[in-house]
Structure formats: C-alpha cells, structure tokens
Structure 1
C-alpha cells in the first residue's frame, strides 16, 4: 500500500510502485479529469500539480508520489482556477475538450506565479501542452482574461 496526499486528502493505493500516477488517479481513485494523451509526457493532457508544479502524470511513478502534495483538476478551487475556468467558458475555448484539463492546469499554475503574463510567458508556460483542435489563440486570450478577472 502506498499513502498519497491528493486534493487535500490522504488516500491509500494498492498498486505496483512503478505504476504511472495517471493510472492511479484515473483507475484507482476514479478521478477522470486527468486525461491520457500520449503516455510519453509530450502532449500535456495528463498534467497535474505536484507540490504546485505542473507535472505530467503519465511519467510520474507512484513510488515517487509519497510525501508530495498532488492536485488534479478536481481539486482546484482557488481564485486563479476560478478565473481560468470562467474565462474558458466566456471565450468558448473548448472544441473537442480532450486537452483542456491539462491546459487549464498549466494556465492556473502560470497565473499563480505570474498574475500578468505576456504572450511569451503564456507560450513558454504552455509549451508542450498540445491542442489537436488548434485553439491556442483562444487559450492565450482566456489566460489574459483570467488575469484581468483575478485583479477585479
């Protein structure tokens, strides 16, 4: 058994130590907001926060997850997340939606560190988060809008 701290709760997981955290989150904990995209940390669909840092859960092993704070999209609730979520809806960012939880997790982490990011800051922070539908311009616009909402 492995003890995890996820979304503010302590849970016990019975899985092999080399299991990718993505599968622990989805299959053992039934938190399906974190998506499987590529399995090689190249697309960002599986982005979670580990101690506040965006992390690809498909390459983060269960054995490395003890003693850290893990947050999935289901565990987000602060001002930055609320602003991002609201901006996403207002600008109708989502098309197919598959990448969006990873995009939102990356955007939220960015705004927590930098409440007024430039286009370059946004591009750097979301580099490696792929969108099959190509909504990058709307994603960037939504992050700027979320930044404004955080100031209000």
Structure 2
C-alpha cells in the first residue's frame, strides 16, 4: 500500500523548486491528501452517534435540537447587539438541554439499579458489558475504507489488511 501511495504521488509530480518554501509545502500537502483520499477513501472522523441509550427520549431530543438551532442562529449572526441576545438564548437552551439530559440519565440509572436483582437484570448487565466492549474497539470510528479496486470494505479483517 505504501508503494501504491508513493507511486501515485510520483505520477502527480513533485512541486517545482523555484517556488517558495510555503508554496512547496502547500502543494505537497494537497497532493498527499488527494492521493490518500483516492487510495484509502474518506472518513468523517466522527463516530456515528446512536440515540439508543436507555435515557434518550423525546424530551431530550427536542431540547438538544433546540440548543443546536440556537447555536446555528448565534453563528449566523453578524450584528453585535443581536449577537449578545442570541448568545443568551443559546446559553438558556444549553442549560435546558443539560438539565433534560441529567434528569433522563438519573431516571435511567435509578431503573438500572433496580434491575440486577432479577433474572432480566442479569441479562441486561451482560448486554451492557458487551456493548461497552464493542465501543472500545480500535476501528469503531471508521466510516469506510476502499480496496485497490475502489470497492468499500465492510469486514474488519479486510480493513485491517488494507491498512497494513
């Protein structure tokens, strides 16, 4: 794979020596990014957030959505007077979202601590441990990687082989 990357970089050509150092650096960095994108594919870099937590509910979803909307309004604002007003509205929405999440997690943990005494509770604990183990895996944040032919690799073994 390293050979493939270096060959593609060579075919695109190296920057000319007549350019200044900053221009050489920028050109080389763009070339490397382009080749890496074509060869390996692209990842967003963020893990996919699953809203399947035991505490996630409609109230929390609405509060988070409102907070995000207020943040976008704040970022889009250009006037200083209006910006202070929108900043306050965002802070209020942020506090409300934080309270909603705290209340929801408190309710979920309260229910969780009641479960272990039952047979269903024991199964739930093992299920939770399994999920946490999966979340700790190294390649959990990867969206996709392509093979030499441009096909998306889905199996973890193939992805690891592609990286090595």
Query: Shared fold by TM > 0.5?
Result: no
TM-score by length of 1: 0.22
Instruction: Return the structure number with greater strand share.
Output: 1
TM-score by length of 2: 0.21
Higher relative contact order (CA 8 A, sep 6+): 2
Instruction: Return the structure number with greater helix share.
Output: 2
Larger Rg: 2
